[in-house]
Structure formats: C-alpha cells, structure tokens
Structure 1
C-alpha cells in the first residue's frame, strides 16, 4: 500500500470535516456514533436545521441531517434533496456524504441511491464520487464490488442474505453494487478492488477508472487494511470538495486513515450508560434480528404490547388502536415492567402478510400506511414518556425511527454512549418536553439479542 507521509497532511483542517445527509434515522445516528466516539464531536439534526439551531452547535466537527429518503420515490427526492444539499454546501466541509444503509436498501422506485447521487453531483460537485459500503465493525464486507453481510458469524452475499433477500420493500436481487446502481442511474460506476489495494496499485486503478469515465467509484473494504486504504484514497483525492455516497463505512474508513496517519488520536474506551429506572420501546421492524431481541426482552422484564397494524388502513380504527396501546404501556409501567410496543415479530409473523392484504383490500398507498404506523408508534411513545416521566426510550426500525422521531418533536441528537455498533444512546434536543431525553434509534438488523436490555442500562452491547 502507498505510504501516508505526515508531511503531506500534517493536521486536519478546522471547522466541519464532514457534512452528511442520511436516508434514514438509524443509519444517520450510526455516522454520528463513529465520529463522536472517535473524538470528533458530531450533531445530527432530525430535519433541516434553522439558523438558530445550527448556531447552538458551532464547535461540531461533523454536522448531519437525518431523513426518511430511503422510503421515498424519486419524485420526492427531486423536490426535497436539492435545498438540503444546498444547505450542506454552505457548511463548506471538505467532504459531503449521502449516507445509505449498509445493506444498500434501495430500488429504482423507492430510496433510489442512483437518483440521490445524480442530484448530489449537480449541487455538491466534485471530480469523482467514492462509494464505500463495507464496514467490518458491523460485519459488512465488499469484495470485487459484491456486498456481503454476516449474521452471528456467518457471512452471506447480499442477494442470498436471509434478511435482505426477503426485505418487504427493497429485496436485494443483486449483490454487485455496480449492477444494482445501474438500475437506478446512468452515471458510470467503477471499482477499486481489494487486490489492487493490497498490492499497492490502488492509485493507478483509481486513475484508470476515472480516465475511463467512471464518476461513481466503489471502493472494496474487507479488513482493517483495506478500510484505512479506502479512507486514504478518499481523503488524499478529495480536491477542493468531494461528494461521497456510502454507509457509515465511509466514516470508519476516514477515521482509520486519520489514525494511521497520526492525524487523530488512538481509540479511547467509552463507558456504557448507567441503568435507567424504566424505559419504553416502540418497534415497527420486521427483521428476524429484532424478533430475537423482542423475545429476549419479554423474558427479562419487558411487557410486550402488540399493535394491530392492519387498523392503520383506516384512520379512526388506528386512533383507537393507538389509544389502546398507550393505555397498555402505561399500565405495564404501573406494574413495574418496561413496555415494548411492537407491530410484528420477524418476517414470519402473520401480522406481516395480514398488513399487506389489508392495504390491498383498502386500496391505499403502502407508503402512506407505513408512515401512519411510524407516526402512531411515535405518538404512543410521546404520550408514555410524558405521562410516566421517563428519561430513556428506544425506537426500533429504520423507517419507523424517522416517522416516530418527527412525532416526538426532537430536532437534534448527540451521541452519549455506545449500545451496539450503529445504534448509540443519544441525547435529544427539543423545544418542548423531550429536551434531554436519552434515546436510541435502532436499525432492524442491528444489535445483539440483549439490545433492549442493554439500552435499559448496565452493560454495553458490542
């Protein structure tokens, strides 16, 4: 691999280093986690910030904005992304990042990474756009452009992954990120592979790919060595500014390179959160990983409260279901148990096809119903936290976190303590009652079986 002489980059520049926009809330908090616990203070806004809100966080080294873009059609992106990308440009960070899921959740009709890349290129510029998805810390790996993810130590190519191959909205039928993106954009996609990285030929391969016309260039990441090399390629070839696409793997790569180059202090230990007296959890995830976490929680002091999501096709029926769930959660707290309000327990739960049938029978848009479900879970959490005076909560599910988070009226979060890679415990900033709330946004595929118990406090969940 190429050397990293300190003479060429003696120190990190001042001001924000990275400005990022996340296509869901859980993934956005994962970026904040990587940077914050590396010693780079980061704030994540849960929507485009006002000037006054930005002014509250003047010393941050990274500034992010979370969204629900992963669940939106290209027409939504055409309307919503340009102004927020223009806001990112005003921060003048050397790197702007469109954050995508580490399992590349996307399709031409929903959450299109290709459409976001086209818009970002027009607004944020840059001579090339690195694409980094692999992140060994969360068991995501890329080899020859193909993406792999591991569950319990077993790796799967993404199109054969037990979760992603069956994803209810964006099932992964192609593991090669170049081919997957080619269905979403006409932008030429290239590759710097791990063999070139390990043989010291990454510079030449990057130059060759750019000369051949590639504008999006995927960088393989398999291990710590290729992670740091990917970070070096991004940082040393950023030009005046660079627009990148990727998971939190981009930040992991930059941090790895900055540490290797002596620009950032070595990793320091972080303390787990103290135990909370009680905690409330809402979950709209259908992941089998979340299902295991729900089962573990119910066996360890949590009270399971199922919401019938089929009622969400009718506004009045859904209002009644929200009221019922809220009352049950408050009753659980009175009995000394922690409420866990959920709509499904894994992809094989009969509630999943039941909701699909209800949506089809009612003739309503699935996106509208999913947003209504997320909003309803947020309203349950809002009422329970307020009335019970809770100081800690968890929202599980990427899309759910976006809709429920907006309902809580939180406008920003900062990282407090690690729970699981990609899902830190955060400090909420709000104009109203939830200012100071400790909250975690958990992706459906993140965390060990004891995640909800770890969020309640006591031990870190790595």
Structure 2
C-alpha cells in the first residue's frame, strides 16, 4: 500500500452505523464484509467489553427498529444510540435506511432521524446515497427506481412499495418526499455532476449555512464509485449520513479503485444442512412467491392464525400449535416454515385493520404482536429441536426474533442473496452461540430463497 493510500486509510473504525431495521442492518454488514472490511453488527449498544472480543473489526453496526417507529420514539431513543456510535470515533456515522426509502412524517421519518443525527457529527453537510445497483435500486436526477423480476419501476409505481401497508411510496422524487419530513435544506448532486472533477467543489459550495442534506445520484458502477469518492474525500472531521447500503457499496467501490480493499468482493460459501426452520411476517409478493416455492418443494408450510395469535386467551396455544406442526416435520428431516401472510392480496393483509380492531389494538400494535408471536414460535422451536440454521423474513419480524433469541451480535458467515447474508450469531447462551441465521427483507431473494439457504447455494 502506498504512503498516499495509508494516509487515506485512517487507523481505527472507518464507519459506524445504526440500521433502521434488522434486515437492512445485515445488508449493510454484508456490503462491508464482502469488501474486506471486518464488520460486527450489535443488537444492543456496543460495549467496550464486546468490542474487545473483535479487535479486527473496522465497522460497527447497531441494529434498530426505527423504520416502524414514530418521530416521538425517535426523539426519545435515537440521540442515545447516535451518541454511543459517535463515541466510537469513526469518521462516518451512518443512519442506514431501506433502499426503497419507504418512510413518512408519521412512521419511520428519515427527516427526523437526520435532524437528530447531524448534531452528533461536526460535518458541514449530510450526504445521502440511496441507489444501490447490486440491489437493483437506481437514483437518477433525484428520482428513485427499483427493479423486480427484470422490470424497472419508478418507486411510486412499484408493485410492492406503492402499496406498502404502513408507508406506501407515492412520490419518486426523493427531494419532494424528504421535504415532508424535515425543514432542512435538501440539495442534489445529479448523475452528470457526480462524474465531474468539480463535484467536490460543488459540495463545498453547498456547505454554506446550516448543514444541508445532499442527495447523490447513483445509476451504475461509475456513479457508484464517484459517489463514494465524494463522501470519503469530503468527510472532513466527520459526517452524518442517512443512506441505504448504497453508501457502503459506494465507499467500497472507491476504496477498491484506490487499492485499499481487495479488487474482488467475496464471501465464504455455506455448506448444506439437512433441514432449516423459517418464520415469515413479510407481506411482500416476493416473499409470497418464495413461500409458494417452499410449499411446492417439500417444506412443511403452516399459517399462523392471526385472530388467535392476537387474542390473549388463545395466543400461547396458537403459538404452541404452530411449533408442534413444525417440530414434527423437522423430526422427520423436513424443513418447516411458519408464516403470517402470503402477499399483499392475502385476505389477512387486506382485512388486517378489521382483525386488529376485533383484538382492540391499533394496526401498529397488532403488527408488532404478530412479530412477537413469530419470534416465540422460533424460540420454542429452537428449544425443542437442535437446529443449526434458521431464516426470518420481514424486517419487523427479524428484529423480534433476534431479540427473543438472546443474540448479542452478528457477523457474516457466508454469502446468500444480495442484501441477505447468512449470519453467525454471537450469544452468551451456549445454545444460541454459533447459530446461523438469515434475516431477509421482503423484496430480497429469488423464488427459491428458502431452499438456497438450506442448500448453501449463493444467489446473485
């Protein structure tokens, strides 16, 4: 490594991040680990004692749940989380958001998170990278696009995100969308400007006054590396950024171009196992197709009865029923999947407001209770059946399950689908320590995802 590169590669941590949900947190961890930057994802505030066990780590994440929370919750919880991460001394503090940017002024407000986060870093700007070509997310002239099944959509016309049950995207121009959530100045470095050698000067010009949010277009590998260069070279004494894992991919692309990380991103390959257990709280059509595949390819697939799971009188019995079905299948070497919904047109999804009302709950509280029920299914199942590998589909469900299992931290064990690595669990409980777990967002993975996790097949 040249003297110039050594100067560009500071000692200690390079980046610390807070993930707004668990699946997104593992996505960011995968991007850094694959680039050759050792990364640890903590499930609670990282302590010196925990970090001392991983001296090689250069990126630390904290898995959170703010994507489904109110601005008041953010005001109460995020300052403490951001302060703990800023204290680690990394030059970039990252609030990791979903690459589909789903958010609203009432739930998962990215604007509120930015307003809180910029106070914890001295930077004079707050860069934002959302596009991530590896995840088929593209930003052009401030507008976000996402591809599914080989077809690209403006995000406000996306078959899933435009119909998201909590935060539907009705605006593709991210500047317009974000202005509903913050009064902070919002600027754009578009896909023409980011390629320019004068892009850095443009950023410095925008720094005048209060720190602005500066969105950076990413459309392809060239603009990805250019965006990474802009953030890294203009980081100053430290910046706060609300970005998708596109930030990690962009930084890695720039570091790779400068010989700071290996030229070829790579992750280990997992070995096959006889059977896996999975739970799914995702309403995505992508996950629905994966559930159908599992049903048609030898998995035991069992639906959780939502009305019984929300009723305190029948809740435990319904969880135990699902556990019994799954445990019997696993005892015969058959993989098992317990799910709460099968796509956005599932009657339980369409009628969820009525189901929540009958349970005398808000939609938000009912959704969280379903996540808790799925977590209890997985916890009881692991207590009963010796399993080495499990899957959780759905961001909220992933957080509930990981918390219920007493996991302290995660690291990447192997590659799987882009955005959903196979993770190694670190726990003080010997029964959980070493468990392999894949946390899958709703839009992630091919149709045979569950089978690929079982077989250890790498999906691209």
TM range (shorter): over 0.9
- 2:233 is the counterpart of 1:247: no
For 2:194 and 2:119, the matched residues in 1 are separated by 30
For 2:275 and 2:97, the matched residues in 1 are separated by 33
For 2:85 and 2:358, the matched residues in 1 are separated by 42
For 1:189 and 1:213, the matched residues in 2 are separated by 11
Q: Structure 1: give runs of 5+ residues left out of the alignment.
A: none
User: What corresponds to 2:69 in structure 1?
Assistant: 72
User: What corresponds to 1:295 in structure 2?
Assistant: 292
2:452 to 451, 454, 458: 454
C-alpha contact (below 8 Å) 1:135/1:221 kept by paired residues:
yes
> How far does residue 236 in structure 1 lie from its aligned partner after superposition?
0.3
TM-score, with structure 2 as normaliser: 0.96
1:43-66, Cα deviation, whole Å (9 max, x unpaired) = 001122333223222320100000
Change (3 A) 1:80 1:458: closer
User: What corresponds to 1:276 in structure 2?
Assistant: 273
Change (3 A) 1:131 1:226: same
- 2:378 is the counterpart of 1:375: no
C-alpha contact (below 8 Å) 2:304/2:340 kept by paired residues:
yes
C-alpha contact (below 8 Å) 2:307/2:359 kept by paired residues:
no
Change (3 A) 1:269 1:162: same
C-alpha contact (below 8 Å) 2:29/2:411 kept by paired residues:
yes
1:17 to 14, 18, 24: 14
User: What corresponds to 1:256 in structure 2?
Assistant: 253
For 1:241 and 1:41, the matched residues in 2 are separated by 20
What SS class does the counterpart of residue 332 from structure 1 fall into?
helix
1:144-183, Cα deviation, whole Å (9 max, x unpaired) = 1111000022111100111000000000011111111111
User: What corresponds to 2:346 in structure 1?
Assistant: 349
C-alpha contact (below 8 Å) 1:145/1:218 kept by paired residues:
yes
- 2:116 is the counterpart of 1:113: no
User: What corresponds to 1:210 in structure 2?
Assistant: 207
1:385-417, Cα deviation, whole Å (9 max, x unpaired) = 221100000000011111121111111000011
For 1:68 and 1:144, the matched residues in 2 are separated by 30
What SS class does the counterpart of residue 41 from structure 2 fall into?
strand
> Deviation above 4 Å: which 4+ runs of structure 1?
8-11
How many pairs are equivalent? 458
1:242-295, Cα deviation, whole Å (9 max, x unpaired) = 111101000000000001122222114434210012110000000000011111
For 2:224 and 2:60, the matched residues in 1 are separated by 23
User: What corresponds to 1:103 in structure 2?
Assistant: 100
For 1:353 and 1:317, the matched residues in 2 are separated by 23
User: What corresponds to 2:87 in structure 1?
Assistant: 90
Change (3 A) 1:6 1:293: farther
User: What corresponds to 1:191 in structure 2?
Assistant: 188
- 2:221 is the counterpart of 1:224: yes
Change (3 A) 1:378 1:205: same
What SS class does the counterpart of residue 59 from structure 1 fall into?
coil
For 1:260 and 1:354, the matched residues in 2 are separated by 51
1:413 to 407, 410, 415: 410
Change (3 A) 1:268 1:59: same
What SS class does the counterpart of residue 194 from structure 1 fall into?
coil
Most deviating of 359-368 and 348-357: 359-368
User: What corresponds to 2:356 in structure 1?
Assistant: 359
C-alpha contact (below 8 Å) 1:113/1:181 kept by paired residues:
yes
C-alpha contact (below 8 Å) 1:285/1:344 kept by paired residues:
yes
User: What corresponds to 2:427 in structure 1?
Assistant: 430
What SS class does the counterpart of residue 166 from structure 2 fall into?
coil
TM-score, with structure 1 as normaliser: 0.96
Most deviating of 117-126 and 157-166: 117-126
For 2:66 and 2:203, the matched residues in 1 are separated by 30
> How far does residue 348 in structure 1 lie from its aligned partner after superposition?
0.8
For 2:302 and 2:277, the matched residues in 1 are separated by 11
What SS class does the counterpart of residue 271 from structure 2 fall into?
coil
> How far does residue 6 in structure 1 lie from its aligned partner after superposition?
7.8
What SS class does the counterpart of residue 348 from structure 1 fall into?
coil
C-alpha contact (below 8 Å) 2:452/2:459 kept by paired residues:
yes
For 2:48 and 2:362, the matched residues in 1 are separated by 35
For 1:347 and 1:293, the matched residues in 2 are separated by 14
User: What corresponds to 2:151 in structure 1?
Assistant: 154
Most deviating of 339-348 and 48-57: 48-57
For 1:161 and 1:209, the matched residues in 2 are separated by 32
What SS class does the counterpart of residue 315 from structure 1 fall into?
coil
1:141 to 138, 142, 158: 138
> How far does residue 11 in structure 1 lie from its aligned partner after superposition?
4.3
Most deviating of 63-72 and 361-370: 361-370
